[in-house]
Each structure stands twice: as C-alpha cells, then as structure tokens.
Structure 1
Amino acid sequence: MTTTAFPTPAHHAAPEHRAPAALRAFGIIALLTAAIALVAIAFALPAARSKPHNVPIGAAGGQAASSQVAERLEQQAAEAFTVTYYPGEAELRDAIRNRNVYGGIAFGPQGPVLLIATGASPAVAQLLTQVGTGIAQHSGVALRTEDVAPPPAKDPRGAGLAASALPITLAGMLPAIALVLALKREVWTRLVATIAFSGIAGVTVAALLYYVFGSIETNLWGVAAGLSLGIGAAGLFMLGLGSLFGKVGLGLGAALALLVGNPLSGLTSAPEMLPSGWGFAGQLLPQGANATLLRSTAFFDGAGASTAILVLSCWALAGAALVITAALRRHV
C-alpha cells in the first residue's frame, strides 16, 4: 500500500518591523554626538573654568606687612586666596611641608622671600610666582623665591604625575571589568585577583614614575603603597558594582570614574583650581583622594594624606561589601 505524502504548509515568519535605515543611522549619529559632547564637557569644562578658589597660602612676619600682602592679593584676585598668618618663616615652612598651605610670603631681616611648593601643585606654584612678582614690582622690593618641595631635575614641570591621572584611573577600572566579564561565577576569585592586581599595579606605576619618567626621587615604596590603596579602592568598588548589578553596574562605575572622578581629581592642577565646589567633590571620589595621596607620598613624606587615606578606605570597604553581598545572593 502506497502512502501519499501531503506537502506541509509553509510557515512564513512574520515580517520584522524595523525602522528605516536612515532613521536608525540618524539615531546612532545622535547618540554618538551626545556621548562625544558629554565626554568633552567632562574633560574640558573643568579646565576651561579653572581658576583659583580660596587657595590656602600663608604670610609670615610683621602684621603690618602681612596685612599689605592680604590687601594686595585681594586686589589682584578677589576670593582667589585664603591667607593664614604665621609668626615667622619657620612656622610658614612647616605649614607648607605639612600641606596646610601651598606657599606664601615671609618677611624677615634679609627681606621678603616667596616660598612655593611645586610638588604640591605646579599650577599653584606658578600662580604664586606671578603674584609674588607683581607684589615685588608694586612695592619696589626685591623678592627671593625658594621652592620648599622642588620637582625632580628629570621632570621639572611635574608632567609625569599629571599625565599619570588617566592611567591610574584605568588601572582601577579595566581589571574589574575584565574579571566580571571573564569569570561569571567565581566571585571570590575576582575579589582576590583585584586585590593582587592593585598591589602589582601600584608598584609598577611607582617604578615607572621613579625609574623611567623621573617624576619622583624619594619614598618609592611609600608612593607604591599609596597607589596600591588608591587603585584598590577604585577597583574594589568597580568590582562590587559589576558583581551585584552586572553590565549596568560596570557601565555606571566606568562613567563615574572617567567622566567625573578623573576630570575632578585635581592631579593636573589642584582641587582649589577647579570650579567652586567641584574640587571638594572630586576629593571625595577615589581618583581625587588618590591624587592627593600620590603628591603627599611623593613630595611630603605622607604629610597631609590622612583624609585621602580615610576616603580611599571607605571606598574599598564599600566595594568589598558589594562583592560580599553579591556572593551571598548567589547562595540564597
């Protein structure tokens, strides 16, 4: 008996409704334009609006001379400086070395001397030099200049530290992103790897600054320890966001680090040189705290680093808490 096969009716897939190609192309262009504009604003706006805002400086010597300095500073740049008075030059030097002020003018028997600290901020040191020159020309008195925290001879402009801002930011981001994407379930392995990488990256960047760029000359291991803490704090928080919220968390963390933290770190100038309020906000983020810690360890033997260490420790603990939360949720 022969069976006849009946043809199976063809099932035609429903036509896919897609927007016209021109409309999709326009949407892509619009999104890319908005993204480029956002990046340009994040990086260029702080620099374009850069000017001194209550930069702490000192004046030492006779109260009459100090008052003239404050008056002259107020005339040249209103609200640009906050002047603190010290009994003598020695006290002013100590304040600079402890990172309480960026520099200042001391009046003594041998005439006035302008004390700057390029290691604290080349931009502020240059600004103070210009102001000091103006005061000397106005008063007709010769003004000596001394750098309390001079830059290394191989990097007299401090370009190495300023240029390291973005690589340090990337060092806190990229390992967390790679580990979250590559190790889908190994939460604890990612945590250990991030901590290990932070130590290795801190030593590597410090060695480059010391041996290759010549941007630092002393306290190599102190700089390495500070960088390890800074990179670890940023990396752990990034890892925590990725572990708990996946790709969305990684995207938010990357945007915060690149578009907010890096431009507001103050490493290329100083927090007080950023628009009012922005510099303070930047110091509460890992990139800004890491920048302050880097300058403190590189030029001031760690002086003035307490707040930065506290901020970075809080970010590291917050990141670790997010990672632990993500690990516990996997076992529920």
Structure 2
Amino acid sequence: MTATIELAPAPHDAGGKLTPPRTRHHLTTLVGVTVALGAVLAVLLAVFILPSLKSGPRDLPVGLAGSSQEADRFAEALSASAPGAYRVEELADQKALVEAVRERDVVGGFVVGSDGVHGVVASAGGAAIAQSVSATAQRIGTAMGVPVTTADVVALPTTDPSGIGIGGLAFPLVFGGIVPVVAFRTAFARSNTWKLAGLLTFSVVGGLVVAAVLRFGFGSIESAFLPVAGAMALGIAAMAFPLTGLQEAFGGKGFTIGAMSMMFLGNPFAGIATTAAWLPSGLGAFGQVLPPGATGTLVRSVAYFGGTGGLTAGLTLGAWVVVGLAVHAIGTRRTRKASPAALEPAAA
C-alpha cells in the first residue's frame, strides 16, 4: 500500500509568478499598520480640534441687577438673543454684581437701568468669556435702543491683554511632568530616593522658572509670583509622581499609557487658555480632574483672584501627588519581593 502526499500549489501572483508567503505577510502587515495609524490620526484630530469647535457660551452663570421691570425685559431679550448661553442670577445692585464677579460666583453680568445697559466682565477669568458677555450687552442694548458701557473689574495685565502667557502653559506643563521622569530614572537608576528627590526638586525649580518667565519675560502676571510658582510646582509634581509610580509598578508600558493619557486627554481638555467653562460641559469637567486642567485653574486663581476658586483644583493636584507616591511605593515593594525570588535556584 503506497501513501501519496499531495503538495498544495504554490501561490502565484497575477502574472503567474510565484509569490513568496513572507511577501504576502509583509503586505498584510503594511496595510494593517497603515490603517491603524490612520485611525489613530483621525482620533487625535477629533480629540484636539473638537473641543475648540464645540466650545462657546453654554449655561454660563451671569448676574443681572436692575429694577424688576427692566431686569425682566432684559432677561427676556437675553434668552431670545442667546438661548442656552447664560444662566441668570438676579442680584441686588451693581456693587453686589461686581463682588460676585470677583468672588467667581458668576463670570460676568449686566446692570440695566434708565441710563442704559452696563456690562461687567473679568477678562482675567477668561478673555473669550469676557468678550462674549461684552458682545451680548452691546447687542441687546443696541436692540433696546439704549447706551451700552462695559467695565472690566478683574482685568488682565496691559502687557498681556489677551492672556496668552497663562493660556500657553499646557505644553510646558506636560513637558515638565513627563521628561523629568525619564531623565531622573536614567540618572538614578539604582536609587529611588534620589530619583524622587530629583522630581521634587525639579517641580519647585520648574514652578519658579515658569513664574519668572510669566512675570519678567511676558508680563502675564503683575504680582503673586510665589503663589503662581507654587501652583505650577504642584501641577508638575501632580504629573511627575503618578508617572514615575506607574513606571515603577508596571514598567515602561505603565509609563507610556500614563504619559499618553496626560498628553492626548489632559492637554486638549484642560481649557487652560479659555477656562473649563468655555468647553462643552462634560469635557470641561473631565479636564479638571486631570492635572493639566486643574493646574490651569489653580494658576489663574492665584494669579488674578487671590486664590478664589482654586481650592478644588489644589486638592485635586494634591490627590494626584499622594496617589503617585502610593503607587510608587507599591511598585517598589513588589520589585524588592521579586528580586530575591529571581535569585533562588530553580527546584530540581
């Protein structure tokens, strides 16, 4: 009895020539990786661009002061002119409105009376928001046929009237949180103590450097040098310590996932340039949970409002630091337990 073995025909290309299996595998890999990278690129474009496209006034808290009849008339015109843009809170008078703006209870407001419409804004709380409130006051006042004036009660410095300095903190913050983790891990590969000391030292120095550039380079802040430096130092630490903790506990993959999350989620959803209130509500709230967004809020609060409105952001950043140190401690303990086991001879 004779066994016969049939060989499968070798693959041919369209011209009848043999097509090596390895070439087909490479072509499949090339197509697959290209498609995957294209999908990632589309997602990144959406992540970075959609927040800006969808940003704008939505349910912004504004104050309204004036006589009952005039205030009601203005509120009706405001709802018709900008539906859904503002949430109106009635206040006693202009003094109460100005106080509410400075305490960050409202982002701005309107005083209506026989002499016209008076807008109250705080450009330091967000230039885009201030412009929106001012434009709304002008539009409604013109429609009502009354004079319109506007007062900026918490203004940005004249040397940086657009707030570009504070608005540009996102990238330096992410850089300051990611790169030192790699640098100090390389420099102190065998000493966790010195590595953590390096990150703490850089956080303080980085905060001072940023505050110095904002104060003396750009004129973006006129005072509160040390509070701004402290806020930036806390923000850098709130990024660096969780990342070094993830690296210690989960290796390079943990660090990579953490760093990418900070860069591709924390950065675009931070709202540092416009404040979180200008972003879509869900995205703005999410961004404030991550260190970049919380740092932007804290820096703006201490720089222009004497710290008002920055407590939650400060507590958020402190929590990130504590969690980062805890994860680092867990990772260090796991590594120490694993090292003696790796040195034990295998059982026969």
- What TM-score, normalized by structure 1, do the two folds share? 0.89
Measured against aligned partners, the alpha-carbon deviations of 1:20-54 in whole angstroms (never above 9, x if no partner) come to 44334334433332332222121111111112221
Q: What SS is found at the alignment partner of 1:269?
A: coil
| Mapped contact 1:151–1:158 kept (Cα < 8 A) | yes
Structure 2 residue aligned with 1:210, among 200, 207, 215? 215
Query: Could you tell me how far apart the structure 2 residues matched to 1:84 and 1:170 are?
Result: 40
Residue type of the partner of 1:260? L
Of 310-319 and 79-88, deviating more is 79-88
Query: Could you tell me how far apart the structure 2 residues matched to 1:34 and 1:212 are?
Result: 40
Measured against aligned partners, the alpha-carbon deviations of 1:64-91 in whole angstroms (never above 9, x if no partner) come to 3332332222212222211112111111
Structure 1 residue aligned with 2:264, among 255, 259, 264? 259
- 1:8-157, aligned counterparts within 5 Å? 20-107=25-112, 111-157=116-162
Residue type of the partner of 2:212? A
Query: Could you tell me how far apart the structure 2 residues matched to 1:67 and 1:285 are?
Result: 40
| Mapped contact 2:199–2:237 kept (Cα < 8 A) | yes
Residue type of the partner of 1:246? G
Shift of 1:161: 1.4
Shift of 1:217: 1.2
| Mapped contact 2:159–2:218 kept (Cα < 8 A) | yes
Query: Could you tell me how far apart the structure 1 residues matched to 2:92 and 2:151 are?
Result: 19
| Mapped contact 1:149–1:299 kept (Cα < 8 A) | yes
Alpha-carbon distance change, 177 to 83 in structure 1, aligned in 2, over 3 angstroms: farther
Alpha-carbon distance change, 70 to 169 in structure 1, aligned in 2, over 3 angstroms: farther
Measured against aligned partners, the alpha-carbon deviations of 1:152-178 in whole angstroms (never above 9, x if no partner) come to 112111112112222112212221233
Query: Could you tell me how far apart the structure 1 residues matched to 2:81 and 2:183 are?
Result: 50
Residue type of the partner of 1:218? S
RMSD, matched Cα = 2.0
Query: Could you tell me how far apart the structure 2 residues matched to 1:206 and 1:43 are?
Result: 26
Residue type of the partner of 2:249? L
| Mapped contact 2:169–2:296 kept (Cα < 8 A) | no
Shift of 1:109: 7.2
Alpha-carbon distance change, 65 to 40 in structure 1, aligned in 2, over 3 angstroms: same
| Mapped contact 2:297–2:310 kept (Cα < 8 A) | yes
Query: Could you tell me how far apart the structure 2 residues matched to 1:55 and 1:238 are?
Result: 35
Residue type of the partner of 2:218? F
- 1:177-188, aligned counterparts within 5 Å? 177-181=182-186, 183-188=188-193
| Mapped contact 2:244–2:328 kept (Cα < 8 A) | yes
Of 291-300 and 98-107, deviating more is 98-107
Report % sequence identity: 34
Residue type of the partner of 2:278? M
Which residue of 2 is the match for residue 320 of structure 1? Answer: 325
Measured against aligned partners, the alpha-carbon deviations of 1:214-259 in whole angstroms (never above 9, x if no partner) come to 1111111111111111111111111211111111111111121111
Report how many aligned residue pairs link the two structures.
317
Larger Rg: 2
Of 312-321 and 158-167, deviating more is 158-167
Shift of 1:121: 0.3
Query: Could you tell me how far apart the structure 1 residues matched to 2:113 and 2:235 are?
Result: 41
Q: What SS is found at the alignment partner of 1:301?
A: coil
Q: What SS is found at the alignment partner of 1:57?
A: strand
Residue type of the partner of 1:316? V
Residue type of the partner of 2:263? L
Does residue 1:195 correspond to 2:200, yes or no?
A: yes
Q: What SS is found at the alignment partner of 1:92?
A: helix
Query: Could you tell me how far apart the structure 1 residues matched to 2:245 and 2:279 are?
Result: 29
Of 19-28 and 246-255, deviating more is 19-28
| Mapped contact 1:120–1:295 kept (Cα < 8 A) | yes
Query: Could you tell me how far apart the structure 2 residues matched to 1:141 and 1:231 are?
Result: 49
Query: Could you tell me how far apart the structure 1 residues matched to 2:85 and 2:253 are?
Result: 41
Measured against aligned partners, the alpha-carbon deviations of 1:77-123 in whole angstroms (never above 9, x if no partner) come to 22221111211111111111111111111246765321111100001
Query: Could you tell me how far apart the structure 1 residues matched to 2:42 and 2:190 are?
Result: 36
Query: Could you tell me how far apart the structure 2 residues matched to 1:53 and 1:177 are?
Result: 40
Q: What SS is found at the alignment partner of 1:226?
A: helix
